Amino acid sequence: MDENLRKSVTRWRLASAALVVLCALLIILVIGIVMSKNREIQAKDVPSCGLRFKSNMDTSEPEHPDIFHDLTSREMKAVQNYLISVPELNLELSNLRMNSSYIAGIDYILPPKKDVLAYLDDSRSPPARKAKVIILRGDLNPPVVEEYVVAPLSNPSSHTLIDYPNRRNPVAFSMRPFTGIEFKGISEVMKKVDEQIGDILRESYGATFNDCGDTCLYYLPNIVSSAITGDFTRRMWLQVAYLVEYYTIHPVDLLLYVNVDGTDPSQFRVEKVVYGGQYRNSLAELAADYVSGDVVKSKMTFPTVDKNLFSTLHRRGFPASPTEEQRQPQFVEPDGARYRIKHRQIEYMNWRFHVRMATYNGPQIHDVRFAGKRIAYEIGLQEIAAFYAGDAPTFRMANYIDSVASFGQQARALVPGVDCPETATYLSTRQVSDNQEGSVKSERSFCVFELNTGYPLRRHLQYYHFRGSFYGGMVDNCLIVRTILCLNNYDYIIDFIFHQSGIVETKIVSTGYIFGGVYNDQEKNYGFQIADQLVGNIHHHLFNFKVDLDVMGTSNRYETLDIKLVNVSNSKWLNGLNTIQSQIKFDRSLKKTELDAVYKYNFDTPKEHIFHNDAFKTRFNVPRAYKVQLSGMSKQILPEDKLNERSIPWARYQMAVTKYSDNEVSSSSIYGNSDGLQPVVNFTQYLADDENIVDEDLVLWMSMGMYHIPHSEDLPLTQTPGKHMTILISPYNYFPEDPSMSSRDQVRVQLKEPSNPKAGVRVDRYFNKPNTACVSNYKETDFDKDVEENPRNILDV
């Protein structure tokens, strides 16, 4: 073959190969377009999740609220308008000062229980709705805090100072709850601090409190109990810190002991100073000693604020995970929500109950029923406390009793996809504070959702044919009502959980920022150094809940099943060989009085706690009961009746049981931070009369807690694993069998022909299975758009 022919053949071969490659690419492109079109057609054919059943959600505010519903915006406004019209109350609406008369909060007063039950169970007329109003009377001499009942809410026309039979009213002004007005008063003190030692602040810390631009100081206050000071003067220790994200873990070594008594902020003053661990009796003394060189000068640098600052919540650290940009798993309700909401009444499977957000005590559920039978009249938060320890007075005297912040006013802005699943329904609440006109609507204060826990509620596999060959199981799908209280640095997640087996669970979990101080050798027995100059001191979290059980009515008994050792002889089983074997048994112990019923956990005396109506037994003459158990018990080891322990006597017991009284509404009060010398609510009085509790309406006061010694992994935020504390209320011989046996959620697998295993198996599911494919309606951008358009739904702007 000559050279020209060879070249021509090569060119044709190359051209042919190129043509083949081009054709292949065109075929791939056409296939891709066709597949894309098919996917578009298929996507159009796939319905959105939840379209199969009509939604049953009405979260609106009712015109005629039911007996458990919180105050409506109209009722709050009506109460305000009425009180403003009362001359002797001297209420002010604007330019509020410490010496003003103003409303600190308005809450619904639940009517007497007997009247509520007469309405619910006997079709009597509903009792009148009333409101409790707390007014700070800074205009009086001496100033006081007054609590009024205002009625009727439909058209308020009367106000009466509440006459409590077991607590005082009015209350000394020094025990007042925190308000924004007081913080404005404290800011006047900070101006004095800048005036007297501003040069020291700038030289030592590179920051001041006022006119400071982006390099400011702030403070974390803690009220010092009257039990510690020995008088009713209102004083606080202030831990000074850098005002950055987040200030509680950016302390400086400056502590201020401030007198904030009375109603004139110009008289508020610093009584003691701790600078670099050195105590002085006044700002002037510190300033003079600083100039003369009689104090060791402190030097700290204002932190560089960027995403790498350890206290910020920007993503950083290890290489991003997952390595690819894969979205997290999401919840889907293929046939729509399986619960119903009508204003604040919620129904789920066999459950029905009401939810509300009490202004002072926080989240509550009422009239909790399973299969139509009331299990509990009320389950709700009472108090949260955190007692710190340390060498510095800011730790040593930091005994926070958090209802001073009014829990209901601290529940807001739950974030979809993080705080609650994407499928959740949200409930808003309304609150009034600092005499604002009208009320503030807090969006997303509660979320309600059904949770597939991914964990079996029950299951059993019998694999072997000679034992039956079957499987039966059911996933623990449950309903959760959640709120999160943000109490300055700590966030507390509170869940009410309803299982299909008739178990109701109350859970509290903590997260958030720790309260830090400046590390020195004196603090090493109280906390670890976890960052440059930062110590996280030991503290004790404590929680108290009220559980008003009504098992088959209000005539209930409390028994413990005391588990004990018993020695038994095996002689008749072992041909006369007299061996002694130890085993366990239980004895029933009926608790007859309130003091007999106080419970302090003891490993040496294990027991179960059951509550029942003695008139209702099983066919085997066994009490139809509910069992109560605690997970998260924590011993409060401070000496009883000493100093500020007097404000939390409920923490002495893991459980106390009292006879119901309309006068024993709560175990604590919003004055607890200050009133240790003479508690406004003294829980010990509930027990001191030692009333009979046999066949009575019983209330349980249940305490949980945990010790926390912060460590470096608590930075920037503490995590929730290991911090779950629960109250479990479970049927105990109440039903003839597990009531979840009626659920469609269970699965059974069995042999098609028991005598012929080779024939295969049959899977039974207890619903008509539709086309399960659906498209989730949730988009992260829905939340993003909402807060962009309504920023106050998430942040204070």
**Active site residues per annotation:** 402, 490
Copy the structure tokens of residue 513: 């920022």
Cα 327-331-336 angle, rounded to 5 deg: 140
CB 497 within 8 A of CB 449: no
- Give the C-alpha distances (Å, rounded to integers) separating 484 from 512, 717, 755: 11, 15, 56
Residues 172/128, Cβ–Cβ less than 8 Å: no
Contact predicate 380/364, CB 8 Å: yes
Q: Where are the beta strands (DSSP E) in 591-740?
A: 607-617, 623-631, 655-659, 698-708, 724-732
CA 291, 296, 300: angle at the middle one, nearest 5? 100
542 in Cβ contact with 384 (< 8 Å): yes
Query: For the chain, how many residues are written?
Result: 797
Whole-angstrom distance, CA of residue 305 vs CA of residue 244: 7
Are 622 and 610 a contacting pair, CB within 8 Å? no
Contact 191, 201 (CB under 8 A): no
Instruction: Identify residue 287 by its one-letter amino acid code.
Output: A
CA distance linking residue 480 with residue 494, whole number of Å: 10
SS3 (DSSP) at 40? helix
Other C-beta atoms closer than 10 Å to the C-beta of 453 total 13
* Pairing mode of beta strands 425-431, 399-401: unpaired
d(CA 476, CA 494): 19
Cis before 152? omega within 30:
yes
Which two three-digit tokens encode residue 495? 């869940």
Structure token pair of residue 160:
């009466």
Question: What is the C-alpha separation between 445 and 459, in angstroms, rounded?
Answer: 36
Say which DSSP state 189 is in. Answer: H
> Rounded CA gap, 11 and 708, in Å?
81
Give the CA distances from residue 321 to residues 72, 106, 314, 330, 484, in Å, rounded to whole numbers and listed in that order. 46, 47, 14, 17, 27
Provide the angle, in degrees to the nearest 10, between the axes of the packed helices 180-205 and 283-292: 0
Token couple for 569: 């002889």
DSSP H/E element including 204: helix 180-205
Q: 168 — phi, psi (to 5°)?
A: -85, 155
Report the DSSP pairing between strands 57-58 and 339-342. parallel
